[in-house]
A and B are shown apart, each in its own frame.
Chain A
Amino acid sequence: MNGPSHSFWSGKSRWVIYGALITIVVLNMLPIALTLIVSFKTHEDIIRIPPQLFPCDTPTQAFDLSACRWSLEGYDRVLMLQPSQESFWGYDMTGKIVATYGGNTVLYAVVSSLFVVLFAATSGYAFSRYRFRGHNALLTGIIAITGVPLLTNLLALYQMGIGIRTLGLPYDDRVFIILVYVGFFLPLSVWIAKGFFDAIPRDLEEAAMIDGCSPLGALFRVTAPLAAPGMIAIFMLTFVNVWNEFLAGYLLVTKNANKPVMFGLYEFLGQNLVNLQVVAAACAIIAMPVVILFLFFRRHFFTAMVEGSVKG
């Protein structure tokens, strides 16, 4: 975000800009703020009719800060902390959202992102450095693939899952879902990786090869370190995509013990139609890791996104 600063706006309009931006930011944060407020309410305050924005009213006053009834009830019912001798924290989180589904999602997101980075790096490098028969056809094919909606492929992948299961192989739907995520998020990543490699001068590799490095050695010893920021960007983007993906995890994973966290949230929503504070707390807990990741790596996210959309 360090482009040249333009004088589209004359000096007098500075305060107008501040005012407009602050308004936009406040409106933008409103849904998040409301969800967080709900997540800290007690059940009694949730089911009051008519609903109150803040649980801070008393029989005599409409708003009294000292009388606010904030509570961690929602979070407690998501995490279901149980005292435990073995746990480092002294507590175990027994709620299924974190203990079962959360763990699955971390596994799926980390493993698929690693594979996507590896495959996108090698093929992005090949597309950037080599001219071979079918080069452009393959690249165009990869774009065409992104035009098939996820939902379209799910019909076939769902049938594929059923087919593999009836074969009686040692089938694990965790391997299957990771493969599906890798395939879903690879095409975009290949394009992003190609863009990053295009920006690295070839001379460096050629120099390494003159010094006796093999082409593969040049890729991993010389080019890969230079492309590291791009690879981190692809990892982050894929991690967040897999973390947030709902439909594939919902439809393709059959064993409840293997389902990802977004399925857990959807199931939770069905079970807690009236306990809005519990679902809001679950949303906050599930969104927290990716929001923190975004705050720490936002520059990488921005480059990956611009690279993937308006390259050139």
Chain B
Amino acid sequence: MSPNIHSLKKQSWFDKSLPVWLLLPTMLALLVVQVYPTLYTIWLSTQEHDAAGWKFVGLDNFERLITLNQFGESVGLTIVFLVFHVALTMLGGFITAFLLSRKIRFSGLFITLLFIPWVLSHVIVGFMFRLMVAPDYGVFTGYLMDPARFPPNGLSILTAVPPKPWIPGFPFPPAPAMWLLILASTWRALPFVTLLILAAIQMVPAEVVESSRIDGANNWQVIRHIVVPLILPTMVVAIFNVILNGMNGVAIIFTSTGGGPGTATQILSYLLYSIGWSRIQFGRAAALALIIALVNWALILATLRFTKIEEGHDQV
């Protein structure tokens, strides 16, 4: 029944090579803005700039970077930031998605209101959280600076130094400013995770839930043994997305803590910015950039292996 298209209409040379033309603009844009810069960064990581121009230094940049005191500290801070950021985001997203999965009145309104943070710029989010605790004039500053609540001098979130670490060399517990950064990043990431989990919960077949109920499962058992296993792949995708965005986000730090006090919130992405553009050591910054990119690639690879589904990630 189905006639051969090619016999009906002779294909021109242009039509035959159509996929090439369709892909060409994208490939050119990606070559210039993504592939070339990545290769350049690899080259840059082996170079050092001096009066005579660029000079090949082998792996010196990596060595100097890793022996830098701030690097080790920054790795620790990044781990602390990511662990709490991911845990809070996943927990909050899971609870909110579960509450929203039940069809109730006004759920559309709830979803709309819950999603507004998702379209706000990290620059604005950082400032909004800074606004609450800004020295002297912040909305909560009066409450926090009361010596009766926080002896002896009150708590100044943005300037308080970190407490003595439990394990020497590992920045935990972090400075109050780090909690502010975690809170701000979590607030911004929550809508994304909530929507992913909500979409997955709604894909759980109703019959499976019904039949487990008939078998006498209670709410908790349905969630624990039916829903959680079924949405686990989505949770993993969400976790990797949150890690990726958290690790690479730097704008939110600019306007909330500025990496401070001291270096107390200087996670790796901010360290990269400060080595590159404050100290103008592009070779060393490139070395750090490659290390971060390798971690990202490992995470993406793990996601693909785990889910074997097509995925991108939230870049809003």
Q: State the A residues within 8 Å of B (CB).
A: 1, 3-10, 13-14, 17-18, 20-21, 24-25, 28-29, 31-32, 34-35, 37-38, 46-47, 49-53, 115, 118-120, 122-123, 125-127, 130, 132, 138, 142-157, 159-160, 179-180, 182-188, 190-192, 194-195, 206, 209-210, 212, 214-216, 237, 240-241, 243-247, 251, 262, 265-266, 269, 274, 276, 279-280, 283, 286-287, 290-291, 293-295, 298, 301-302, 305-306, 308-312
Contact = CB atoms under 8 A, between A and B. Distances in A.
Interface stretch (B80-88, B161-169, B291-299): B291-299
Contact of A6 (B35, B37, B209): B209
Nearest to B31: A183
Contact of B132 (A31, A240, A247): A31
B75 interface: no
Contacts of A150: 248
B237 A246 contact: no
B128 A35 contact: yes
B289 A119 contact: no
Contacts of B195: 302, 305-306
B131 A34 contact: yes
Nearest to A192: B312
Given A123-B26, A311-B309, A214 B121 contact: no
A132 B289 CA distance: 34
A239 to B, nearest CB: 10
Nearest to A150: B248
The list of the 10 closest CB pairs from A to B, nearest first, reads A183-B33, A3-B202, A50-B142, A156-B37, A244-B121, A312-B309, A5-B103, A152-B289, A156-B40, A126-B22
A306 B254 contact: no
Q: Which of B32, B121, B300 has the most CB of A within 10 A?
A: B121
Contacts of A144: 297, 300
Contact of B137 (A6, A47, A209, A290): A47
Interface of B: 3, 5, 8-9, 11-12, 15, 18-19, 21-23, 25-27, 29-30, 32-38, 40-41, 44, 95-96, 98-104, 107-108, 110-125, 127-129, 131-132, 134, 136-139, 141-142, 145, 187, 190, 192, 195-196, 198-204, 206, 209-210, 213, 219, 222-223, 227, 234, 237-238, 241, 244, 247-248, 250-251, 254-255, 269, 272-273, 276-277, 282, 285-286, 289-290, 292-293, 296-297, 299-300, 304, 307, 309-316
Given A153-B33, A155-B40, 18 more contacts: A1-B108, A8-B219, A17-B102, A25-B110, A28-B190, A32-B128, A34-B132, A49-B142, A52-B142, A126-B23, A143-B312, A147-B293, A150-B248, A210-B5, A214-B12, A262-B123, A310-B199, A310-B237
Q: Is the interface of B mostly helix, strand, loop or mixed?
A: helix
B38 A153 contact: yes
B37 A8 contact: no
Given A51-B142, A191-B312, A5 B102 contact: yes
Contacts of B134: 276
A7 to B, nearest CB: 6
Given A8-B101, A122-B25, A34 B139 contact: yes
Given A182-B33, A306-B196, A125 B115 contact: no
A44 to B, nearest CB: 12
Contacts of A246: 121-123, 251, 254
Nearest to B3: A210
Q: Which of B22, B27, B110, B112 has the most CB of A within 10 A?
A: B22
